[in-house]
Amino acid sequence: MLNKLFNKSKIGKHSMEVKESLKNDECLPYHIAIIMDGNGRWAKKRAMPRIAGHHEGMQTVRKITRIADDIGIKVLTLYAFSTENWKRPKSEVEYLMSLPQMFLNSFMPELMERNIRVEMIGDKEGLPSNTKSALNEAMEKTKNNTGLILNFAMNYGSRAEIVNAMKDIMIEVNNGNLTLEEVDEKTIDQYLLTSKLPEPDLLIRTSGEVRLSNFMLWQLAYTEFWFTDVLWPDFDKETFMEAIQAYQQRNRRYGGLKGE
User: Which residues are marked as active site?
Assistant: 37, 85
Reported as type and span, the H/E element at residue 160 is helix 158-174
Residue closer to Mg ion by CB (options 10, 90) is: 90
* Under rule CB under 6 A, residue 191 binds ligand IPE: no
Strand, helix or coil for residue 203: strand
Residue from 2, 6, 30, 41 that binds ligand IPE (CB under 6 A)?
41
Supply the minimum distance, in Å, between the C-beta of residue 37 and Mg ion.
Answer: 4
Compute the residue count for the chain.
260
SS3 readout for 44-94: HHCCCCHHHHHHHHHHHHHHHHHHHHHHCCCEEEEEEEECCHHHCCHHHHH
Supply the minimum distance, in Å, between the C-beta of residue 79 and ligand IPE.
Answer: 4
Residue closer to ligand IPE by CB (options 150, 169) is: 150
Residue from 15, 65, 82, 131 that binds ligand IPE (CB under 6 A)?
82
> Contact 218/186 with Cβ under 8 angstroms?
no
Report what 124 binds from Mg ion, ligand IPE, none; CB cut-off 5-8 Å by kind: none
Question: Which region among 6-14, 15-23, 76-84, 183-191 touches ligand IPE (by CB under 6 A)?
Answer: 76-84
Supply the minimum distance, in Å, between the C-beta of residue 118 and ligand IPE.
Answer: 17
User: CA 189 to CA 127: how far, in whole Å?
Assistant: 24
User: CA 135 to CA 166: how far, in whole Å?
Assistant: 26
Site for Mg ion, rule CB under 5 A: 37
